[in-house]
Amino acid sequence: MHQILVLQCEQEISSFNPVPTEYASFDIAVGSALIDANRQADTCVRGALDEFEARSDVTVVPVFGAKAPSGGLLRADAFRRIAGELLAALREHAKGADGLYFALHGAMGAEGELDPEGHLLEAARGILGPDVPIVTSLDLHGILTARMLRNMTATAVYHTYPHEDFIDTGARAARLLLHIIDTGARPVTARVKIPALVRGPELFTKSGCYGEIIRNAKRLEANGTLAAAMLIGNPFTDVPELCSQSLVITDGDADMAKREALAMAADFWQQRERMHAPLVSLGDAIEAARKAVAPVTFTDAADAPSSGASGDSNAILRGLLEHGYRGRAIMPIVDAPAVERAHAAGVGAVLQLAIGGSLDPARFPPLTMEVRVAMLGDGRWRHEVSGLLGDAGRTAVLEAGNTTLIAISRSVHLADRSVFLAHGRDPLDFDLIVIKSPGAYSRFFSFAGENFVVDVPGATTANLPLLGHEICARPMFPLDPDVVFEPAVEVCPG
Ligand SMILES: [Zn+2]
């Protein structure tokens, strides 16, 4: 019997969100609770478990899982505690292990440790020793660091954006790990770092040019390489090794891995300008929305909690009021103080409330307005996108004229329709729907006549030069002018 350990530590941060992530933001699952949490979910861990459990010669040992919604930089004490618990659990189960599957995101960041995944992998390698294969799964927004690369055997990376292949990626990672154990394959990884950060609709793998690059990676995987990927990093995770990178893993064939990684990187670099998001000014978007066939969507990717933003932006709300927009508009907003006031007053109450900016007042000065409390909620609903139960804290539906605000207490993923439907509001009944997610409109709001990706402030704006990166290597497209790409391929083990 092969004993396979399963670990998980997944979060994605925006360094530009002023609200730090706390330990309490993480769902911790120890032992069999890790299986229970993922059994019905659309997650990498579930995909891996399905593969392992299909094999009669594999014993799965669920060790420890930690998963949090995206947010600001993780507090130092919180990361120390998570790392301590995870590694203690690993030590307990390390004896006799034949392999480790480690589900990571890749875009974590903690105070004092800007490469948390590298820290965990290095420690895990230290505990398991050099011979136990460690295979990870990574989000394509992950930042694969040199330390991560040195301390893992291989990895499988998402092939879709917006992400739809969590289960598939976990399954690929599991098959890769089993292949290494079964055949004694010796993975060689080649990667090429590219000084470019990209964001926008051309990244949608079904329709954009990034999809062509990914399809090439999939062709490589279908034709003898162990894994291939094009990681774009999370442009909001300002850490030293932030970049885009191509990655090809072969069984011992370093030349092939190098050749393909270089070709993929050259292809990506050539298309960087095209992958740079076109944004519409809020004023222009509102004018266009007035004339468009309803409903239309405004994508507020700048305030996307799923990318690490605070979720408390009132920038579009302010714009609609200033421009005298008269259609029926609906939008979610993270605003715990407003929710508390609404709960205290009760359904039907009319209140003067300061809306927005409860977490990031410097970006979003609060907006005082009269609202009617239309509904109160407990903030627990199942996300369409993941099948996972979310906890947004208490909620309130607030109406101000033709505008409906769904105020929630905590930043949770708003990457599908569930926040609206859970409050009895069908987005189809509105003229203008604000979506706080970069890609949800293409997957869940395709009924809308038009989508506008608006240029508004936020910790995850696609207007990347506005953010003020201070840590990542420079020069970097599009933060700097005239960036030159001199391809250099790294091979691991080198
Ligand atoms: Zn991602």
Q: pLDDT tens digits for 192-233?
A: 999 999 998 899 999 999 999 999 999 999 999 999 999 999
Q: Report, as an integer, the average pLDDT of 431-459.
A: 96
Residue 107 CA, ligand 1 centroid: distance in Å: 9
pLDDT of residue 277: 84
Residue 321 CA, ligand 1 centroid: distance in Å: 33
Give the residue from 94, 126, 107, 96 showing the smallest Cα distance to 68. Answer: 107
Question: What pTM was estimated for this model as a whole?
Answer: 0.94
Q: How confident is the model at residue 64 (pLDDT cuts 50, 70, 90)?
A: very high
Q: What mean pLDDT value characterizes the chain?
A: 97
Q: pLDDT tens digits for 359-380?
A: 999 999 999 999 999 999 999 9
Residue 62 CA, ligand 1 centroid: distance in Å: 24
Residue 461 CA, ligand 1 centroid: distance in Å: 15
Q: How confident is the model at residue 390 (pLDDT cuts 50, 70, 90)?
A: confident
Residue 368 CA, ligand 1 centroid: distance in Å: 35
pLDDT exceeding 70 applies to what percent of the chain?
A: 100
385: pLDDT strictly greater than 90: no
Residue 11 CA, ligand 1 centroid: distance in Å: 10
pLDDT of residue 102: 99
Residue 234 CA, ligand 1 centroid: distance in Å: 7
Residue 348 CA, ligand 1 centroid: distance in Å: 40
Residue 163 CA, ligand 1 centroid: distance in Å: 7
Q: pLDDT tens digits for 100-153?
A: 999 999 999 999 999 999 999 999 999 999 999 999 999 999 999 999 999 999
pLDDT of residue 404: 98
389: pLDDT strictly greater than 90: no
Q: pLDDT tens digits for 394-417?
A: 999 999 999 999 999 999 999 999
Residue 141 CA, ligand 1 centroid: distance in Å: 5
For the chain, domains (ranges, CATH) are 2-275 (3.40.50.2300), 280-461 (no CATH)
Q: Report, as an integer, the average pLDDT of 284-292.
A: 97
Q: pLDDT tens digits for 65-78?
A: 999 999 999 999 99
